[in-house]
Structure 1
Amino acid sequence: MPGRADGIEARTRGVGGGVMLLGVQRLAAAPVHLDHIFEEPDVRPLHPSSCTCREHPLPAPMRVRDARDAYLAENGFTTGSYDAPTTAGSLFGLRFSVPNPPAHRRAIRLHDLHHVATGFGTDHAGEAELSAWQARRGLLSAGAYVTAIVLTNVAMGAVVAPRRTWAVLRAPSTGPSLFSVEVDYDALLERTVGELRALLDVPTDGLATHRRELHPHAPRSA
């Protein structure tokens, strides 16, 4: 969702995610792999409940703050970009900066927690899945700027990962997103990932069915 660049996200970190000016996808665009269209679902191995590898969503017992920080670290993001005047991103490898107005600053923070809760990655396919999930949960409280970024990412998903994007769009979705929930952000960070998922009506083990892939500018060690 909000400002960075994968598909569509923007953020000032040395970051990237899609074209998202919002953080909605940190504008660090991932290369387009059309094989997403034909790929078979991942069959991921079972891991210990404390495991934080990218083969599956972050563990439910983990504190939200720690999970968010782990997510930021593996992507090369920092909390400093949350309040920066602009956010840096890229689209198909081309870097650029976009404004980071108040609505987008709020969205980036919440967008990151949506990644933690769902387990979706920050490559184009993952950002498309997350944007589809956010769209299904409602964008009335997100603002026009953030909404435009989310919907653009969904449209991109129809091209780079149609099956995965469509699967999220048509899945039953009765819970809220953090865009529409009034919560104390700092207090939420002290809760567990499992409690965050319960708040959003997300399964205990998250929603992602594929390995958590990263945007192209993420640290190579991630």
Structure 2
Amino acid sequence: MRIRNKPWAEDYIKKNDSIAVLNPYEEKGNWNQLFTEKQKLALEIGTGKGQFIEGMAKKNPETNFIGIERDKNVLVSAIDKIKESELSNARLVYENARDLRDMFARDEIDTIYLNFSDPWPKTRHEKRRLTYKTFLEQYQNVLKDQGKIILKTDNRGFFEYTLVSFSQFGMKLEDVTLDLHELEDESNVMTEYEEKFSNKGQPIYRCIATFE
């Protein structure tokens, strides 16, 4: 479904600079200084309307969360969620982050979440997939030792591709789940897409991996 264009979105993002980080490349190496407490840092790539990051920040007050979203029209909804919940451990970035190494220092992030990323199913678009090797190189750089990548998707083809990509890169697979909701994992926080697909009976795939 196409998201309706909100011509006021960019101004709204700028007005909410207590939540939206307006100059993210200037924060490289100093992200924890933007939060009330210096804590573990978790990064969600593709925040959407913010249901996941809001839920995770509520459930895990001992962690600071950063959400990157390139679509201003959905980011405004995420801003509203963070604002209404009065969360001090969640910040948002309006950016198409082509290289995370420009935005984050080496070993700055503890966990990266990839939730329902675009699968880019055509072979010629493989390099755009967020689990392609060039992206894994970025993640390895900004993640701390034993830092985790946690991926969820409804797309089995993309999931299988990711498992192979992780393995070929020499990563360790700590968990592979073919039906996440069957586990009844209380720590799981659903995204908007996850809720939608799960309600239709679609299995949700999850894997957790680290760099060795």
* TM superposition score category, shorter chain reference: under 0.3
Please identify the structure whose Cα radius of gyration is greater. 2
Q: What's the TM-score once normalised by structure 2's chain length?
A: 0.27
Higher RCO by CA contacts (8 Å cutoff, separation 6 or greater): 1
Q: TM-score scaled to structure 1, two decimals?
A: 0.26
